[in-house]
Chain A
Amino acid sequence: MSTPATSFNEREFVTCQISRLVEDNYIYWVGGGGEPLSSVLLAKRMGAPNLQYLTEDGVVGPEAQVPFDPLMTMISSRANYRALQWSTMNYAADLAQLGYVDYGILATLQVDRYGNVNSTVIGKYEGGEGRRFGGPGGADSIAALAWRTILVTDQQKRKFVDRVDFISSPGFLDGPGARQRHGLPPNTGPWRVYTPWAMYGYTKECQLELQGIAPFVTIEQVLSEMSFKPAIASKLEILEVPTEEELTILRTQIDVGGQVTDRGRWIELAEGKYRFAA
């Protein structure tokens, strides 16, 4: 069953990447929906059956019944089925402030070299000039307080920028020490950034570092879809494609309606190489 898949799309690829990063026996606070939740639900069915996750409504360790109705990823009986505890948002915030949240996973609208996250406005904030989005929601707590934060975004020039238009949730702000100068707890912050094409970490100077790329793109293609040049690891990992087993679970149990993964380009194996489908 762990056969490398021969056909998948970009969303499925990135969801499987994050899912494999999810470690068993740790506590996760995940953004309510999209790739963060799908990747955790996939991990629970693969290598991490004992991981526990929280969402903003203060649910602890649910055995969610998927699929959900549209938007019903929190405060619904299916999302919160057979949890260990039901509480409210301040409890989730308290757990994060206390240090119980080992990992946070966030989908982001726009991210910069320091891992600062924008979910407020693209363009100018003042006067309603820019294109407005919903705000940080629960992401500010996750980004500030989880020991390690995993970010997921698109590999697109306009989403991967030198400086976000608005810091909704904190990355390393403007470099080493900045988080603590603004009251955030030490030893926290962005840890990995995933896109459908690549995986990044951070250098000691809190700079984004390209550490892995998908087998269906070149390093040049990745860099061409960034507004700045990141640090590049001395040895680049080639990310492994989804397995048939992962895709079967994702498609038949988790994202049945394709709400999360039915976007992005398709990739196929042809003549021994992965490439974008025509």
Chain B
Amino acid sequence: MRILEDGGADYLKVDPDGYRAAVRDTKPHRMVSKMMSHQEAIERFVSDGDYLAYDCNYFQRGPSSLIREIIRQRKKNLWICGKFTYVACALLVEAGCADRIDIGFIGFGPWIARAVKEKRLTIYEYSNAVMTLRLKAGAMGIPFIPVRSFGGTDGFKHSGCKLVEDPFTGKPIVLAPAINPDVSIIHVHQADEFGNARVFGTGIAHAECALASKRVIVSAEEIIDTAEFRNDPARTSIAHFCVDAVVHAPFGAYPGTVQGYYASDPAGVVEAMGAMYQGDFKAYLQKHVYAVASHDEYLAKVVGAEKLAEIRRRETIKEGYHA
């Protein structure tokens, strides 16, 4: 195949055969209970230097409580899949946990330029859909995926993509390298103890993340019986064998929303965005992460029962979100 242009930037090593072997050797093929705490899940399944994907983001049905736990455990040198996200990348970089980001869209502010200048951060450019398509390729067990967008952009020149002559049509086409993240963290509406999981409503790439990632931590608003999955199998978004850990995390997306369950907390959203725009995360991280030992303590002491009741009450729309 003739390569017409090479983006030339570093990308996560592509190794579908290695991934197949990891699936055979390390994925839990039989149904076993994987219930564990936030602390145990992050300790066991997130390692320094990992490529980390999280689905959705800190404000929209994202694994916010797991992100806070990663920061609390002071993980290091993570490479972040920065698609469709606002503050989580900023929090992870400024807390010293991450030093590389593949950018689709991230919340910006003075922190990025500062971190790049100080050589604490290396960035690679993509778009949201190029990133989700890379995850799709990872989820299909193939090394790359042809993409009809992204060609001709300056982002391409700072990416791991290549423009080639398509051997079938003879026309130019962009190829994007697959991603098989070391670990994905995904927040869902419902899961059983084995990791079967349901997402209601729209999302970004939770199914792709679950299939593509060597290790998967699912946090769930509700833990339900496996019988409920068997009663309505078409609603299963993620099958148990993809999942390594299940964490019960009510209000796990706070300050964000989980559609149908609770609304976002606008004050909490504005507080996080404010820290990002000002480029000063110290106070935010201290109050929301380091000052408490666990998600339960965070909800009880920092957020408070009154706020939780209020965001539940404000989420008046239920259609489509319950089994």
Binding site for B on A (CB under 8 A): 56-59, 65, 69-72, 74-78, 80-82, 86-90, 92-93, 96-97, 120, 125, 127-141, 143-145, 166-170, 173, 178-185
Contact = CB atoms under 8 A, between A and B. Distances in A.
B154 A167 contact: yes
A130 B113 contact: yes
Q: A-side binding surface: helix, strand, loop or mixed? A: loop
B321 interface: yes
Given A89-B205, A182-B163, A184-B151, A72 B128 contact: no
Contacts of B251: none
B249 interface: no
B94 to A, nearest CB: 14
Which 3 residue pairs of A and B lie closest in terms of their CB atoms, listed nearest first?
A128-B116, A182-B151, A137-B105
Interface string B39-72: 0000000000000000010011100000000000
Interface in B60-87: 60-61, 82-84, 86
A84 to B, nearest CB: 12
16 contacts: A69-B257, A69-B264, A72-B257, A72-B263, A82-B319, A86-B320, A90-B132, A129-B113, A129-B117, A138-B129, A140-B129, A168-B154, A170-B151, A180-B172, A183-B173, A184-B151
Contacts of A80: 201-202, 259
A141 B116 CA distance: 27
Contact of A90 (B127, B149, B205, B266): B205
Nearest to A80: B202
Interface residues of B, number: 68
Contacts of B136: 90
Most buried by A among B106, B130, B173, B203: B203
A77 B129 contact: no
Contacts of B149: 93, 96-97, 140-141, 143-145, 170, 184
B4 to A, nearest CB: 8
Given A89-B132, A127-B117, A128-B113, A75 B60 contact: yes
Contact of A140 (B86, B130, B208): B130
A137 B106 CA distance: 8
Given A56-B129, A70-B270, A93-B132, 20 more contacts: A56-B128, A69-B257, A69-B263, A70-B266, A72-B263, A75-B203, A76-B259, A82-B319, A86-B320, A89-B84, A90-B132, A90-B136, A120-B125, A120-B154, A128-B115, A136-B104, A166-B155, A181-B152, A183-B152, A183-B171
